[in-house]
Amino acid sequence: MDKAAKEILKLIKKYDIITIHGHVNPDCDCYGSSLGLREILRDNFKNKRIYSLGYGQDALYDMLGKYDEVDDETVKNSLAIIVDCSETPRIMDQRIVTARQIVKIDHHIESTPFIGIKWVDTDSIACAQMIVEFAEAFHLKISSKAAHLLYLGICTDSGRFRYSPTNSKTHRLVADLYDIGVDPQKMFKVLYQSDANYVKYQALLVSKFKTTEHNVIYCFADVPDYEQFGLKYEQVSKNVNVIGNIKGCPVWTLFTRSPEGTIRVEFRSHNYNVQKVAVKYGGGGHEHAAGARLDNQKDFSLAMKVVEDLEAMVVEELKKDAK
C-alpha cells in the first residue's frame, strides 16, 4: 500500500472528528467515494464523529444515504479528507480551508500540486476503487451499504467498465464487492431511467452538435434549451456522452451554460490528451476525460476558443502521426 495511504490511516486514528469533502456538482464517483468512505470509517471507528459534506445525487438518497450537515466548529476541529477532487477551490464546502488538517485521496492528474499528505493514483479508474483498496489493505470492514456506494463510483466512472484505465485490479476489487452482496440492478433502475422531458432534451443535444474540419464534435447548450423542458442546470450539465462515440470523431465536448453565466465544459476523447486543454481554462481531470468551468459568460464566444484549441491539438497530433 502507498506510503501516503498509511499516513492517512494514522491521521484517521488520531482525529476524533473527520469530515469528507468532494467536488462541486458531484458525479456518482464523488458521491459514492465520499459516502462510502464515511460508512467504512463509521463502522470501524465507532468512537469518532465522521461526516460527508456536500450536496447532489438526490435521486440516490433514499437508497444509499445523503450528505451530512454540520456547524462551522465541527469542520474547524476536523481532519478533512478530500476525495475525487484535484483542486481545493473546486470543493463543494469551502469551509474545508478552516480544518485542522487536510489530506487528499484522488485519481486525477494534478494541475496544481496539493500541499500536504496526498494519495494520488492516476492508474485507478475511480476514486471509489482506491477506497476499496484502502479498506482491504488495512483490513477495514466494508458493509453492504458501503459496498453499494463504492460499486456505484467504480461502475459509473469506468463507463460500466469500458473506459481506460479499467484493469484487472478494478475487476478483482469489484468481485470482492459482489461477494459482500452488491446488487447493481437496484441502483441501475434509479441511475439509468429518465423521464420523457429529459430524453427530449438529450435528443435536442444530438440535433444541435457541430463538427470542426478535423472532426472535433462540440455542442453549446444554453439556458432556454433545458428550461423549455422544465429541467434545471444541475440536472443537465453532465450529458457529454450523448454526443460521443461517433465514428471518425476522436474528441467531443459539451458546453452547458447556467442561468448565472457559468459554462460547464466536459471534454472526452478516445486517444488525445484533452486534459491539457482543460488545464488551460482552469480545469483538470484525466487524459481522455476532463472538465473545466468558464465563469461569467454572457455567450459562447470563449467556449468557441476552447473548440479552436481542441481543433489545433488534433491538427498537431495528426502532423506527428504523419511523420
CA terminus-to-terminus distance, the chain:
42
Grid cell listed for 270: 478516445
User: Are residues 229 and 148 part of one domain?
Assistant: no
Q: For residue 172, give its domain range.
A: 3-191
User: Are residues 17 and 161 part of one domain?
Assistant: yes
The radius of gyration of the chain's CA atoms, rounded to the nearest angstrom, is: 20
Q: What is the pLDDT of residue 218?
A: 97
The count of structural domains within the chain is 2
Q: Residue 251: is its pLDDT beyond 90?
A: yes
User: Are residues 208 and 187 part of one domain?
Assistant: no
- pLDDT category of residue 52 using cuts at 50, 70 and 90: very high
Q: What is the pLDDT of residue 274?
A: 94
User: Are residues 27 and 81 part of one domain?
Assistant: yes
Q: What is the pLDDT of residue 57?
A: 79
Q: What is the pLDDT of residue 201?
A: 97
Residue whose grid cell is 471534454: 267
Average pLDDT, the chain: 93
- pLDDT category of residue 19 using cuts at 50, 70 and 90: very high
Look at residue 38 and give its three-state secondary structure: helix
User: Are residues 233 and 88 part of one domain?
Assistant: no
Q: Residue 241: is its pLDDT beyond 80?
A: yes
pLDDT one-digit tens code per residue, 177-229: 999 999 998 888 888 778 899 999 999 999 999 999 999 999 999 999 999 99
b or e along 83-121 (b: 16 or more beta carbons within 10 Å of the residue's beta carbon)?
Answer: bbbbbbebbbbebbeebeebbbbbbbbebeebeebbbbb
Q: Residue 141: is its pLDDT beyond 80?
A: yes
Count of residues for the chain?
A: 323
pLDDT one-digit tens code per residue, 256-291: 999 999 999 999 998 899 999 999 998 888 888 889
Backbone φ/ψ region at 230: left (φ over 0), alpha (ψ -120 to 50), beta = left
191, 221, 250 - which closes a domain: 191
- pLDDT category of residue 90 using cuts at 50, 70 and 90: confident
pLDDT one-digit tens code per residue, 168-179: 999 999 999 999
Give me the mean pLDDT over the 6-29 stretch. Answer: 95
User: Are residues 240 and 114 part of one domain?
Assistant: no
Query: Taking the mean position of all CA atoms in its chain, how far away is CA 150?
Result: 13
136, 170, 191 - which closes a domain: 191
Q: Give the global pTM.
A: 0.85
User: Are residues 100 and 25 part of one domain?
Assistant: yes
Give me the mean pLDDT over the 222-251 stretch. Answer: 92
Q: What is the pLDDT of residue 219?
A: 97
User: Are residues 180 and 133 part of one domain?
Assistant: yes
User: Are residues 204 and 119 part of one domain?
Assistant: no
Q: What is the pLDDT of residue 147?
A: 97
Grid cell listed for 165: 484505465
Give me the mean pLDDT over the 283-309 stretch. Answer: 93
Query: Which of 36-40, 55-59, 221-225 is predicted least confidently?
Result: 55-59
The better pLDDT of the pair 186, 317 is held by: 317
Q: Residue 323: is its pLDDT beyond 80?
A: no
Give me the mean pLDDT over the 240-246 stretch. Answer: 91
Q: What is the pLDDT of residue 88?
A: 84
- pLDDT category of residue 114 using cuts at 50, 70 and 90: confident
Rounded Cα distance between 198 and 215, Å, is 27
Q: Which amino acid is at 12?
A: I
Q: For the chain, give the secondary structure using H, E and C.
A: CCHHHHHHHHHHHHCCEEEEECECCCCHHHHHHHHHHHHHHHHHCCCCEEEEECCCCHHHHHHHCCCECCCHHHHHCCEEEEECCCCHHHECCHHHHHCCEEEEEECCECCCCCCCCEEECCCCCCHHHHHHHHHHHCCCCCCHHHHHHHHHHHHHHCCCCCCCCCCHHHHHHHHHHHHHCCCHHHHHHHHCCCCHHHHHHHHHHHHHCEECCCCEEEEEECHHHHHCCCCCHHHHCCCHHHHCCCCCCCEEEEEEECCCCCEEEEEEECCCCCHHHHHHCCCEECCCEEEEEECCCCCCHHHHHHHHHHHHHHHHHHHHHHC
User: Are residues 230 and 122 part of one domain?
Assistant: no
Q: What is the pLDDT of residue 271?
A: 87
137, 162, 191 - which closes a domain: 191
Give me the mean pLDDT over the 56-61 stretch. Answer: 82
Q: What is the pLDDT of residue 189?
A: 82
